[in-house]
Structure 1
Amino acid sequence: MQRKTTLPLWRRFCRDREGVALVEFAMALPVMLVAYLGTVEVAQLVMINRKVTQLTSALADLTARVQSVAPADVENIFDAAQTILMPYDPGNARMVLASVVVDGSGVGRVCWSNQRNGTALARGATVTLPDSVKVANTSVIMARASYDYTPAIGYVLTGAIALGDDPIYARPRNGLAGGTLSIEQVKRTNADACPTF
C-alpha cells in the first residue's frame, strides 16, 4: 500500500516546475557577484590611476609656472596637487619634484629635488631623459608621482597595487637665467643655480 502512494508523489515531484527559476538564480548568483565586484574594483583602479596621472601633471605644471621656489612653496605645491586625489587617501601617494638641467652635450643632471613620502634625487645626479626633452643648455621640471592602491573590497583584486611612477616633464615658463651657462630655470631659493653642481 505504501508503494502506491510513494510512486505518484515521486512522479508529481519530477513533473513539478515550480522553483526552477530560484534554483537557476542560486546557481548564477555567485558568478554575477564576482563579475559585479570585479567591475567595481577595476573601475576604482582605473579612476585612481587617472588621478595619479593628473597629480603628476599638476606637480610639473604648478612648479614650471614660477621663477623661484622656497622649500615652503614646494610643500604648498605638494598640498595643492594632492587634493586631486580626493576622496582617496593622499597619504598613500609618493611625490618627487626635480629641476633637471641639460648641459651642452645633452646630459641631464639634477639641480634640486624635493619629495613627499618618496626619495629625493641627489643634486648633480644624472637623469635619463627622453629625446624630446633632451635639448642642450635648457632645463626642465620633472615630476613623478605614484600611489599604492588597496582595493576596497579585495575579492577580485587583492593586495596593494602600485600605480603611476611615470615622469612628466614641463619647461619653465618664467624661469630665471642662472648658473655658469645662464640657463633659464626654476631657481630654488636655498640653492645655487645650475649647472654649478
Structure 2
Amino acid sequence: MRFPMTRVFSLRRNRAALRRLTRRFRGNPRGVAAVEFAMILPAMLAIYFGIVETGQGVMIDRKVTQLTRSLADLTAQSTTISNTEMSNIFDAAQTVMMPYTTVSPKMSVHHIVVDSAGVAKVCWSEQRNSTKFARGTTVTIPADLRLPNSSLIMAQASYDFTPVVGWLIQGGAISIGGDPIYMRPRLGKAGGTASIEQVERSGVSMCPGFS
C-alpha cells in the first residue's frame, strides 16, 4: 500500500520535531528539576505534616499533664466540695487546654482512702465526659502512697487528638494522657470511723465506712 508523499513528509516532520523536543527536554536542567520536584513533592508534604502533627501532639500532651495536675491541686486545696464547687474545678482546670478546645477533654477526680489494712478504696468520685468509680471500689495505687489510715486525691485526664494525616488515612483519634496524678489533701478535715484527714464531698459520708 502506498501513502501520498505529503503524508510521508508530514510523519517525518512530526518524528523529527518529537526528537528535537525530547533532546531539548533532556538537556534542559529546569525540565529535569521540575520532574524531580514532582516526584519528591509527596514525600516532602508527608514529612512536613508529620513534623507539624508531632509538634501538636507533644504540646497537647503537656497541656493534658497540666490539666491533670490542676484537677488534683484544686481539689486537694478544698475542705468540703459542693456540686457547684466541683463544677467550678472542672471549668477552671479545663482552661489550661486553650487553644485546644475543639474537643472537650475527659476528666475525673477520685478521692481515695487507705484503711488500716493498707487497702485503697474510692470514697467518692466525680467526672466530666469520662467515667467515675463506684464508692468502695478497690483501686491500685503506688506502694509508697499506700499509707494506712490516709487519703489522697487521684486525678485523671485525656484528650482525643485527631491528626490531619491520621484523619485522611484512618479516620481515627489518638487518646493522649490518662496517667493519674496523686496529691494529699492540704486543708482536709478528719472524719470517718478512723478520723482520717480527707476532702469531704457534700452529701457523702466520710470514709472509712464505704457503704
TM-score by length of 1: 0.90
Take 1:71 and 1:55, find their aligned partners in 2: how far apart are those partners? Answer: 20
Counterpart AA for 1:191 = V
Take 1:88 and 1:112, find their aligned partners in 2: how far apart are those partners? Answer: 29
Correspondence 1:53 to 2:65: yes
Which sections of structure 1, spanning at least 5 residues, go unmatched?
none
Equivalent residue number for residue 131 of structure 2: 119
Deviation at 1:65, TM superposition (A): 0.8
Which sections of structure 2, spanning at least 5 residues, go unmatched?
1-8
Shift of the 18–48 alpha-carbon distance from structure 1 to 2, 3 Å rule, reads closer
Correspondence 1:108 to 2:88: no
Aligned-residue CA RMSD (Å):
2.2
Larger RCO: 1 or 2 (CA < 8 Å, sep 6+): 1
The number of equivalent residue pairs is 196
CA contact (8 A) 1:67 1:176 kept: yes
Equivalent residue number for residue 204 of structure 2: 191
Equivalent residue number for residue 143 of structure 2: 131
Equivalent residue number for residue 9 of structure 1: 20
Take 1:44 and 1:91, find their aligned partners in 2: how far apart are those partners? Answer: 14
Take 1:69 and 1:43, find their aligned partners in 2: how far apart are those partners? Answer: 37
Identity %: 53
Matches within 5 A, 1:2-151: 2=12, 6=16, 9=20, 12-13=23-24, 14-89=26-101, 91-151=103-163
- Structure number with greater Rg is 2
CA contact (8 A) 1:108 1:129 kept: yes
- The structure with the greater share of residues assigned to helix is 2
Take 1:30 and 1:82, find their aligned partners in 2: how far apart are those partners? Answer: 38
In the TM superposition, structure 1's runs of 4+ consecutive aligned residues that sit over 4 Å from their partners are: 155-158
